Copies of this chain bind each other. A is one copy, B any other.
Protein backbone atom coordinates (compact mmCIF):
# COMPACT_ATOMS: atom_id res chain seq x y z
CA UNK A 1 0.00 0.00 0.00
CA UNK A 2 1.39 3.40 -0.95
CA UNK A 3 1.02 6.57 1.03
CA UNK A 4 -1.94 8.65 -0.11
CA UNK A 5 -1.22 11.88 -2.00
CA UNK A 6 -1.57 15.03 0.10
CA UNK A 7 -5.25 15.87 0.32
CA UNK A 8 -4.74 19.63 0.60
CA UNK A 9 -2.28 20.18 -2.20
CA UNK A 10 -3.26 17.33 -4.47
CA UNK A 11 -6.93 16.58 -3.99
CA UNK A 12 -7.60 15.07 -7.46
CA UNK A 13 -4.84 12.49 -6.98
CA UNK A 14 -5.91 11.81 -3.42
CA UNK A 15 -9.48 11.25 -4.63
CA UNK A 16 -8.48 8.63 -7.21
CA UNK A 17 -5.96 6.93 -4.97
CA UNK A 18 -8.20 6.58 -1.95
CA UNK A 19 -10.90 4.98 -4.12
CA UNK A 20 -8.51 2.33 -5.41
CA UNK A 21 -6.61 1.77 -2.16
CA UNK A 22 -9.76 1.50 -0.04
CA UNK A 23 -11.10 -0.93 -2.67
CA UNK A 24 -14.23 1.03 -3.46
CA UNK A 25 -13.62 0.52 -7.16
CA UNK A 26 -11.09 -0.69 -9.69
CA UNK A 27 -10.18 0.25 -13.24
CA UNK A 28 -12.21 -1.65 -15.82
CA UNK A 29 -10.94 -2.83 -19.20
CA UNK A 30 -13.64 -0.73 -20.91
CA UNK A 31 -13.05 2.94 -21.60
CA UNK A 32 -14.66 5.23 -19.06
CA UNK A 33 -16.03 2.43 -16.90
CA UNK A 34 -15.15 1.20 -13.43
CA UNK A 35 -15.67 -1.99 -11.50
CA UNK A 36 -17.48 -1.22 -8.27
CA UNK A 37 -15.90 -3.52 -5.72
CA UNK A 38 -17.80 -4.99 -2.76
CA UNK A 39 -16.89 -2.21 -0.31
CA UNK A 40 -17.98 0.53 -2.73
CA UNK A 41 -21.08 -1.40 -3.65
CA UNK A 42 -22.02 -1.86 0.00
CA UNK A 43 -22.04 1.94 0.36
CA UNK A 44 -24.20 2.24 -2.75
CA UNK A 45 -26.58 -0.47 -1.47
CA UNK A 46 -27.00 1.45 1.79
CA UNK A 47 -27.74 4.68 -0.07
CA UNK A 48 -30.20 2.86 -2.34
CA UNK A 49 -32.01 1.35 0.62
CA UNK A 50 -32.58 4.73 2.29
CA UNK A 51 -33.70 6.39 -0.93
CA UNK A 52 -35.80 3.47 -2.16
CA UNK A 53 -37.76 3.45 1.10
CA UNK A 54 -38.47 7.17 0.75
CA UNK A 55 -39.43 6.81 -2.92
CA UNK A 56 -41.96 4.16 -1.95
CA UNK A 57 -43.21 6.06 1.10
CA UNK A 58 -43.90 9.09 -1.10
CA UNK A 59 -46.18 6.98 -3.29
CA UNK A 60 -43.99 5.80 -6.17
CA UNK A 61 -43.68 2.26 -7.49
CA UNK A 62 -40.62 0.64 -9.05
CA UNK A 63 -40.74 -0.78 -12.56
CA UNK A 64 -38.19 -1.93 -15.15
CA UNK A 65 -38.00 -0.57 -18.69
CA UNK A 66 -35.77 -1.83 -21.51
CA UNK A 67 -32.08 -0.95 -21.73
CA UNK A 68 -32.38 -0.34 -25.46
CA UNK A 69 -34.29 2.55 -27.00
CA UNK A 70 -35.12 2.68 -30.73
CA UNK A 71 -33.11 5.54 -32.21
CA UNK A 72 -36.28 7.14 -33.59
CA UNK A 73 -37.71 7.55 -30.07
CA UNK A 74 -34.97 9.95 -29.06
CA UNK A 75 -35.68 12.17 -32.03
CA UNK A 76 -39.27 12.77 -30.99
CA UNK A 77 -38.31 15.53 -28.59
CA UNK A 78 -36.07 17.93 -30.49
CA UNK A 79 -34.05 19.43 -27.61
CA UNK A 80 -33.72 16.02 -26.00
CA UNK A 81 -32.04 14.33 -28.95
CA UNK A 82 -29.75 17.28 -29.51
CA UNK A 83 -28.67 17.20 -25.88
CA UNK A 84 -27.85 13.51 -25.80
CA UNK A 85 -26.72 12.67 -29.35
CA UNK A 86 -22.96 13.15 -28.76
CA UNK A 87 -22.97 10.81 -25.76
CA UNK A 88 -24.82 7.82 -27.17
CA UNK A 89 -23.64 4.22 -27.47
CA UNK A 90 -25.38 2.50 -30.36
CA UNK A 91 -26.11 -1.19 -30.99
CA UNK A 92 -26.07 -1.73 -34.75
CA UNK A 93 -25.72 -5.52 -34.89
CA UNK A 94 -27.52 -8.22 -32.92
CA UNK A 95 -28.26 -11.91 -33.28
CA UNK A 96 -25.64 -12.08 -36.04
CA UNK A 97 -27.33 -9.48 -38.26
CA UNK A 98 -27.34 -5.76 -38.87
CA UNK A 99 -30.42 -4.23 -37.27
CA UNK A 100 -32.94 -2.41 -39.42
CA UNK A 101 -33.14 0.36 -36.84
CA UNK A 102 -30.16 0.89 -34.53
CA UNK A 103 -30.82 0.72 -30.81
CA UNK A 104 -29.46 3.28 -28.43
CA UNK A 105 -28.25 2.17 -25.01
CA UNK A 106 -30.38 4.40 -22.76
CA UNK A 107 -28.68 7.61 -21.61
CA UNK A 108 -31.92 8.26 -19.65
CA UNK A 109 -35.38 6.78 -20.15
CA UNK A 110 -37.81 9.64 -20.72
CA UNK A 111 -38.59 8.60 -24.28
CA UNK A 112 -39.12 4.91 -23.48
CA UNK A 113 -41.15 5.58 -20.36
CA UNK A 114 -43.28 8.26 -21.99
CA UNK A 115 -44.03 5.89 -24.83
CA UNK A 116 -45.42 3.47 -22.22
CA UNK A 117 -47.16 6.20 -20.22
CA UNK A 118 -49.03 7.17 -23.40
CA UNK A 119 -50.59 3.70 -23.38
CA UNK A 120 -51.24 3.49 -19.66
CA UNK A 121 -52.80 6.92 -19.19
CA UNK A 122 -56.33 7.12 -20.55
CA UNK A 123 -58.40 8.96 -17.99
CA UNK A 124 -57.87 11.31 -15.06
CA UNK A 125 -58.34 8.20 -12.89
CA UNK A 126 -54.93 6.98 -14.10
CA UNK A 127 -53.26 10.08 -12.67
CA UNK A 128 -51.03 10.77 -10.92
CA UNK A 129 -48.84 8.00 -12.29
CA UNK A 130 -45.67 7.78 -10.21
CA UNK A 131 -42.99 5.36 -11.37
CA UNK A 132 -39.35 4.88 -10.46
CA UNK A 133 -36.64 2.75 -12.02
CA UNK A 134 -33.25 1.64 -10.65
CA UNK A 135 -31.07 1.11 -13.69
CA UNK A 136 -27.75 1.38 -15.45
CA UNK A 137 -27.40 4.10 -18.08
CA UNK A 138 -24.65 4.90 -20.56
CA UNK A 139 -23.30 8.29 -21.64
CA UNK A 140 -20.04 8.22 -23.54
CA UNK A 141 -17.66 10.09 -21.27
CA UNK A 142 -14.64 11.98 -22.59
CA UNK A 143 -13.03 12.68 -19.23
CA UNK A 144 -14.06 9.89 -16.88
CA UNK A 145 -13.39 10.04 -13.15
CA UNK A 146 -14.34 7.19 -10.80
CA UNK A 147 -17.92 7.61 -9.51
CA UNK A 148 -18.11 11.26 -10.62
CA UNK A 149 -18.20 10.68 -14.37
CA UNK A 150 -18.28 7.20 -15.81
CA UNK A 151 -19.55 6.00 -19.16
CA UNK A 152 -21.85 3.50 -17.50
CA UNK A 153 -23.35 4.62 -14.24
CA UNK A 154 -26.11 3.49 -11.90
CA UNK A 155 -29.05 5.54 -10.82
CA UNK A 156 -32.69 5.80 -10.09
CA UNK A 157 -34.88 7.76 -12.45
CA UNK A 158 -38.34 8.77 -11.27
CA UNK A 159 -40.97 9.60 -13.85
CA UNK A 160 -44.38 10.96 -12.98
CA UNK A 161 -47.45 12.29 -14.78
CA UNK A 162 -50.00 14.66 -13.26
CA UNK A 163 -53.29 16.26 -14.22
CA UNK A 164 -52.15 19.79 -13.32
CA UNK A 165 -48.98 21.80 -13.58
CA UNK A 166 -49.16 22.72 -9.93
CA UNK A 167 -49.17 19.08 -8.89
CA UNK A 168 -46.20 18.38 -11.17
CA UNK A 169 -44.35 21.37 -9.72
CA UNK A 170 -45.02 20.12 -6.17
CA UNK A 171 -43.76 16.66 -7.09
CA UNK A 172 -40.57 18.13 -8.61
CA UNK A 173 -39.81 20.09 -5.45
CA UNK A 174 -40.85 17.31 -3.07
CA UNK A 175 -38.34 14.91 -4.64
CA UNK A 176 -35.66 17.60 -4.62
CA UNK A 177 -36.28 17.90 -0.88
CA UNK A 178 -36.06 14.13 -0.44
CA UNK A 179 -32.66 14.27 -2.11
CA UNK A 180 -31.54 17.12 0.12
CA UNK A 181 -32.58 15.13 3.22
CA UNK A 182 -30.69 12.08 1.96
CA UNK A 183 -27.57 14.18 1.40
CA UNK A 184 -27.69 16.09 4.66
CA UNK A 185 -29.13 13.53 7.10
CA UNK A 186 -27.45 10.39 5.79
CA UNK A 187 -24.40 11.38 3.74
CA UNK A 188 -23.63 14.28 6.12
CA UNK A 189 -23.10 16.51 3.11
CA UNK A 190 -24.47 20.07 3.27
CA UNK A 191 -25.99 20.93 -0.09
CA UNK A 192 -27.11 24.03 -1.88
CA UNK A 193 -30.38 23.59 -3.69
CA UNK A 194 -31.80 25.75 -6.41
CA UNK A 195 -32.86 26.03 -9.99
CA UNK A 196 -30.56 25.61 -12.97
CA UNK A 197 -30.34 28.44 -15.49
CA UNK A 198 -32.18 27.96 -18.80
CA UNK A 199 -28.84 27.26 -20.38
CA UNK A 200 -28.01 24.45 -17.97
CA UNK A 201 -31.33 22.70 -17.72
CA UNK A 202 -32.23 19.20 -18.87
CA UNK A 203 -32.86 18.95 -22.64
CA UNK A 204 -36.62 19.17 -23.02
CA UNK A 205 -37.43 20.38 -19.51
CA UNK A 206 -39.25 23.55 -18.51
CA UNK A 207 -37.29 23.82 -15.27
CA UNK A 208 -34.46 21.84 -13.70
CA UNK A 209 -33.73 21.88 -9.98
CA UNK A 210 -30.44 20.72 -8.59
CA UNK A 211 -28.72 19.99 -5.31
CA UNK A 212 -25.01 20.71 -5.27
CA UNK A 213 -22.20 19.78 -2.94
CA UNK A 214 -18.84 21.50 -2.72
CA UNK A 215 -16.07 18.97 -2.34
CA UNK A 216 -12.97 19.46 -0.22
CA UNK A 217 -11.14 21.19 -3.06
CA UNK A 218 -13.89 23.80 -3.31
CA UNK A 219 -15.30 22.53 -6.58
CA UNK A 220 -19.03 22.00 -6.99
CA UNK A 221 -20.63 18.66 -7.72
CA UNK A 222 -24.15 18.37 -9.10
CA UNK A 223 -25.45 15.49 -6.98
CA UNK A 224 -28.76 15.02 -8.74
CA UNK A 225 -31.58 16.85 -10.45
CA UNK A 226 -35.36 17.09 -10.46
CA UNK A 227 -37.08 18.28 -13.63
CA UNK A 228 -40.43 19.85 -14.28
CA UNK A 229 -40.81 18.54 -17.82
CA UNK A 230 -44.24 20.02 -18.19
CA UNK A 231 -45.98 19.07 -21.46
CA UNK A 232 -43.26 18.97 -24.14
CA UNK A 233 -42.70 15.21 -23.88
CA UNK A 234 -46.44 14.59 -23.52
CA UNK A 235 -46.96 16.32 -26.86
CA UNK A 236 -44.05 14.48 -28.45
CA UNK A 237 -45.43 11.10 -27.37
CA UNK A 238 -49.13 11.94 -27.84
CA UNK A 239 -49.85 11.23 -24.22
CA UNK A 240 -53.42 12.37 -23.54
CA UNK A 241 -56.04 11.75 -20.91
CA UNK A 242 -59.74 12.48 -20.57
CA UNK A 243 -60.19 14.91 -17.74
CA UNK A 244 -63.14 15.02 -15.34
CA UNK A 245 -65.08 17.24 -17.73
CA UNK A 246 -64.55 14.78 -20.59
CA UNK A 247 -61.98 16.88 -22.46
CA UNK A 248 -58.70 15.49 -23.77
CA UNK A 249 -55.68 17.03 -22.02
CA UNK A 250 -51.94 16.51 -21.95
CA UNK A 251 -50.55 15.55 -18.55
CA UNK A 252 -47.71 17.46 -16.88
CA UNK A 253 -44.59 15.36 -16.41
CA UNK A 254 -41.63 15.30 -14.06
CA UNK A 255 -38.44 13.29 -13.86
CA UNK A 256 -35.74 13.17 -11.22
CA UNK A 257 -32.62 11.17 -10.69
CA UNK A 258 -29.55 10.63 -8.62
CA UNK A 259 -26.66 8.30 -9.22
CA UNK A 260 -23.60 6.40 -8.05
CA UNK A 261 -22.03 9.85 -8.13
CA UNK A 262 -23.29 10.08 -4.54
CA UNK A 263 -20.53 7.65 -3.58
CA UNK A 264 -18.04 10.05 -5.14
CA UNK A 265 -19.63 12.92 -3.22
CA UNK A 266 -19.11 10.99 0.02
CA UNK A 267 -15.46 10.32 -0.77
CA UNK A 268 -14.81 13.93 -1.74
CA UNK A 269 -16.64 15.46 1.21
CA UNK A 270 -15.21 13.80 4.28
CA UNK A 271 -11.74 12.30 3.89
CA UNK A 272 -8.36 13.19 5.32
CA UNK A 273 -4.73 12.18 4.83
CA UNK A 274 -5.44 8.83 6.40
CA UNK A 275 -8.22 8.00 3.94
CA UNK A 276 -12.00 7.91 3.79
CA UNK A 277 -14.30 8.99 6.59
CA UNK A 278 -17.73 7.42 6.21
CA UNK A 279 -20.84 8.77 7.95
CA UNK A 280 -22.14 6.10 10.34
CA UNK A 281 -25.62 6.02 8.79
CA UNK A 282 -24.18 4.89 5.44
CA UNK A 283 -21.00 3.07 6.48
CA UNK A 284 -21.03 -0.65 5.59
CA UNK A 285 -19.00 -1.23 8.75
CA UNK A 286 -19.83 1.14 11.60
CA UNK A 287 -17.55 -0.37 14.19
CA UNK A 288 -14.43 -2.46 13.78
CA UNK A 289 -13.13 -4.43 16.75
CA UNK A 290 -9.42 -5.16 16.78
CA UNK A 291 -8.53 -7.76 19.41
CA UNK A 292 -5.08 -7.25 20.93
CA UNK A 293 -3.87 -10.81 20.92
CA UNK A 294 -1.11 -12.18 23.15
CA UNK A 295 -0.21 -15.83 23.14
CA UNK A 296 -1.40 -16.74 26.65
CA UNK A 297 -4.71 -14.87 26.50
CA UNK A 298 -5.52 -15.47 22.84
CA UNK A 299 -8.65 -17.59 23.30
CA UNK A 300 -10.07 -15.45 26.08
CA UNK A 301 -9.75 -12.29 23.98
CA UNK A 302 -11.05 -13.85 20.77
CA UNK A 303 -14.08 -15.34 22.52
CA UNK A 304 -14.78 -12.09 24.28
CA UNK A 305 -14.74 -9.94 21.14
CA UNK A 306 -16.93 -12.40 19.23
CA UNK A 307 -19.50 -12.38 22.03
CA UNK A 308 -19.40 -8.61 22.26
CA UNK A 309 -19.74 -8.26 18.47
CA UNK A 310 -22.76 -10.56 18.44
CA UNK A 311 -24.41 -8.51 21.16
CA UNK A 312 -23.80 -5.22 19.34
CA UNK A 313 -25.01 -6.68 16.03
CA UNK A 314 -28.24 -7.70 17.70
CA UNK A 315 -28.94 -4.05 18.45
CA UNK A 316 -28.53 -3.16 14.78
CA UNK A 317 -24.91 -2.02 14.73
CA UNK A 318 -22.83 -3.18 11.79
CA UNK A 319 -19.71 -4.66 13.41
CA UNK A 320 -16.63 -6.29 11.93
CA UNK A 321 -14.17 -8.22 14.07
CA UNK A 322 -10.71 -8.20 12.51
CA UNK A 323 -9.16 -11.31 14.01
CA UNK A 324 -6.59 -11.86 11.26
CA UNK A 325 -3.52 -13.06 13.14
CA UNK A 326 -1.13 -12.50 10.26
CA UNK A 327 -1.48 -8.72 10.66
CA UNK A 328 -0.33 -6.45 13.46
CA UNK A 329 -2.88 -4.23 15.23
CA UNK A 330 -1.08 -1.22 13.72
CA UNK A 331 -1.55 -2.53 10.19
CA UNK A 332 -5.23 -3.08 10.94
CA UNK A 333 -5.68 0.43 12.32
CA UNK A 334 -4.14 1.74 9.13
CA UNK A 335 -6.44 -0.31 6.90
CA UNK A 336 -9.70 0.47 8.68
CA UNK A 337 -8.84 4.16 8.88
CA UNK A 338 -8.14 4.11 5.15
CA UNK A 339 -11.56 2.55 4.68
CA UNK A 340 -13.21 5.20 6.82
CA UNK A 341 -14.84 3.00 9.47
CA UNK A 342 -16.29 5.56 11.91
CA UNK A 343 -15.51 3.79 15.20
CA UNK A 344 -12.84 1.35 16.39
CA UNK A 345 -12.51 -0.72 19.53
CA UNK A 346 -9.18 -2.11 20.69
CA UNK A 347 -9.64 -4.87 23.22
CA UNK A 348 -6.95 -6.81 25.05
CA UNK A 349 -6.92 -9.08 28.09
CA UNK A 350 -6.28 -6.22 30.48
CA UNK A 351 -9.28 -4.26 29.14
CA UNK A 352 -11.47 -7.32 29.62
CA UNK A 353 -10.28 -7.69 33.20
CA UNK A 354 -11.11 -4.02 33.87
CA UNK A 355 -14.50 -4.18 32.08
CA UNK A 356 -13.51 -1.51 29.59
CA UNK A 357 -12.83 -1.16 25.89
CA UNK A 358 -10.57 1.35 24.20
CA UNK A 359 -12.55 3.36 21.62
CA UNK A 360 -11.20 5.54 18.82
CA UNK A 361 -13.38 7.76 16.65
CA UNK A 362 -12.28 8.09 13.02
CA UNK A 363 -12.61 11.84 13.49
CA UNK A 364 -10.00 12.08 16.22
CA UNK A 365 -6.85 10.38 17.31
CA UNK A 366 -7.33 10.30 21.09
CA UNK A 367 -8.24 7.01 22.64
CA UNK A 368 -11.18 6.87 24.99
CA UNK A 369 -11.58 4.23 27.68
CA UNK A 370 -15.22 3.21 27.90
CA UNK A 371 -16.94 1.07 30.50
CA UNK A 372 -18.63 -2.05 29.13
CA UNK A 373 -21.69 -1.23 31.20
CA UNK A 374 -24.36 0.04 28.79
CA UNK A 375 -21.84 -0.28 25.98
CA UNK A 376 -24.52 -0.86 23.33
CA UNK A 377 -26.23 2.42 24.03
CA UNK A 378 -22.85 4.17 24.26
CA UNK A 379 -22.02 2.96 20.73
CA UNK A 380 -25.36 4.15 19.34
CA UNK A 381 -24.88 7.58 20.90
CA UNK A 382 -21.26 7.77 19.75
CA UNK A 383 -22.20 6.91 16.15
CA UNK A 384 -24.90 9.59 16.22
CA UNK A 385 -22.34 12.08 17.50
CA UNK A 386 -19.85 11.21 14.78
CA UNK A 387 -22.60 11.57 12.17
CA UNK A 388 -23.45 15.02 13.54
CA UNK A 389 -19.80 16.09 13.82
CA UNK A 390 -19.09 15.10 10.24
CA UNK A 391 -21.92 17.28 9.02
CA UNK A 392 -20.73 20.19 11.16
CA UNK A 393 -17.17 19.91 9.91
CA UNK A 394 -18.45 20.04 6.35
CA UNK A 395 -20.65 23.03 7.21
CA UNK A 396 -17.66 24.86 8.65
CA UNK A 397 -15.74 24.13 5.48
CA UNK A 398 -18.58 25.63 3.44
CA UNK A 399 -18.67 28.72 5.70
CA UNK A 400 -14.95 29.27 5.10
CA UNK A 401 -15.17 29.08 1.35
CA UNK A 402 -18.47 30.90 0.95
CA UNK A 403 -18.11 34.44 -0.36
CA UNK A 404 -20.83 36.96 -1.02
CA UNK A 405 -19.42 39.26 -3.59
CA UNK A 406 -20.46 41.86 -6.13
CA UNK A 407 -18.68 41.87 -9.48
CA UNK A 408 -16.86 39.20 -11.43
CA UNK A 409 -13.66 41.26 -11.40
CA UNK A 410 -13.70 41.16 -7.58
CA UNK A 411 -13.68 37.37 -7.33
CA UNK A 412 -12.42 36.00 -10.63
CA UNK A 413 -8.82 35.67 -9.49
CA UNK A 414 -9.75 34.13 -6.15
CA UNK A 415 -12.07 31.70 -7.95
CA UNK A 416 -9.21 30.69 -10.20
CA UNK A 417 -6.77 30.14 -7.35
CA UNK A 418 -9.00 28.70 -4.60
CA UNK A 419 -12.27 27.54 -6.18
CA UNK A 420 -14.98 28.08 -3.53
CA UNK A 421 -18.63 29.10 -3.28
CA UNK A 422 -19.43 32.54 -4.71
CA UNK A 423 -22.88 33.95 -4.01
CA UNK A 424 -23.59 36.80 -6.42
CA UNK A 425 -26.48 38.67 -8.01
CA UNK A 426 -27.50 38.00 -11.61
CA UNK A 427 -29.59 39.88 -14.16
CA UNK A 428 -30.59 36.53 -15.75
CA UNK A 429 -29.01 37.45 -19.05
CA UNK A 430 -27.05 34.64 -20.67
CA UNK A 431 -24.32 37.05 -21.80
CA UNK A 432 -23.30 37.57 -18.19
CA UNK A 433 -23.51 33.84 -17.48
CA UNK A 434 -21.20 33.18 -20.44
CA UNK A 435 -18.44 35.36 -19.01
CA UNK A 436 -17.81 32.73 -16.35
CA UNK A 437 -16.58 30.28 -18.99
CA UNK A 438 -13.17 31.91 -19.25
CA UNK A 439 -12.61 31.08 -15.58
CA UNK A 440 -13.88 27.51 -16.13
CA UNK A 441 -16.75 28.40 -13.82
CA UNK A 442 -20.51 28.41 -14.12
CA UNK A 443 -23.71 29.33 -12.34
CA UNK A 444 -24.39 26.23 -10.27
CA UNK A 445 -27.92 27.29 -9.41
CA UNK A 446 -30.30 30.14 -8.74
CA UNK A 447 -31.10 30.19 -5.03
CA UNK A 448 -33.95 31.70 -3.05
CA UNK A 449 -31.93 34.46 -1.36
CA UNK A 450 -31.72 37.96 -2.74
CA UNK A 451 -28.84 39.43 -0.75
CA UNK A 452 -26.99 41.04 -3.65
CA UNK A 453 -28.34 44.00 -5.53
CA UNK A 454 -26.42 44.00 -8.80
CA UNK A 455 -25.50 41.50 -11.47
CA UNK A 456 -21.98 40.06 -11.17
CA UNK A 457 -21.56 40.46 -14.94
CA UNK A 458 -23.06 43.70 -16.17
CA UNK A 459 -23.69 45.49 -12.89
CA UNK A 460 -27.37 46.00 -13.70
CA UNK A 461 -30.09 45.17 -11.20
CA UNK A 462 -30.00 41.58 -10.03
CA UNK A 463 -33.15 39.47 -10.31
CA UNK A 464 -31.96 37.07 -7.62
CA UNK A 465 -28.86 35.45 -6.17
CA UNK A 466 -26.99 32.64 -7.82
CA UNK A 467 -24.15 30.39 -6.72
CA UNK A 468 -21.08 30.49 -8.93
CA UNK A 469 -18.31 27.94 -8.78
CA UNK A 470 -16.10 25.60 -10.68
CA UNK A 471 -17.44 22.13 -10.96
CA UNK A 472 -16.84 18.47 -11.71
Contacts and interface: CB of A to CB of B under 8 A. Distances in A.
A36 interface: yes
A65 B25 CA distance: 10
Interface string A38-65: 1001101100000000000000011111
**Residue among A29, A42, A62 having the largest count of chain B Cβ atoms under 10 Å:** A29
A304 interface: no
**Residue among A36, A63, A70, A138 having the largest count of chain B Cβ atoms under 10 Å:** A63
Interface stretch (A85-93, A249-257, A435-443): A85-93
Contact of A89 (B44, B63, B94): B94
A419 to B, nearest CB: 28
Interface string A12-37: 00000000000000101110011111
Interface string A316-347: 00000000001000000000000000000000
A96 B103 contact: no
Nearest to A138: B67
Contact of A26 (B37, B68, B116): B116
A152 B68 CA distance: 9
Contact of A70 (B30, B85, B138): B30
A119 interface: yes
B68 A140 contact: no
| Assembly stoichiometry (copies) | 2
A115 interface: yes
A188 to B, nearest CB: 24
Interface string A69-112: 11001000000000001111111111110000011010000001
A92 B93 contact: yes
A441 B28 CA distance: 42
A3 interface: no
A45 B68 contact: no
A149 to B, nearest CB: 13
Given A29-B115, A66-B33, A138-B67, A89 B91 contact: yes
A37 B26 CA distance: 34
Interface residues of A, number: 55
B66 A35 contact: yes
Contact of A38 (B63, B86, B105): B63
Nearest to A90: B93
B30 A68 contact: yes
A131 interface: yes
A154 interface: yes
Given A90-B91, A94-B88, A96-B86, A116 B35 contact: yes
B86 A28 contact: no
**Residue among A67, A119, A125, A131 having the largest count of chain B Cβ atoms under 10 Å:** A67
B119 A26 contact: yes
A142 interface: yes
Contacts of A41: 61-64
A135 B35 CA distance: 13
A242 interface: no
A253 to B, nearest CB: 17
A86 B91 contact: no
Given A86-B96, A91-B91, A64 B105 contact: no
Contact of A105 (B73, B91, B119, B131): B91
A36 B66 CA distance: 9
Please name the 6 residue pairs, one residue from A and one from B, whose CB atoms are nearest each other, closest first: A95-B140, A38-B61, A36-B64, A89-B94, A33-B66, A90-B93
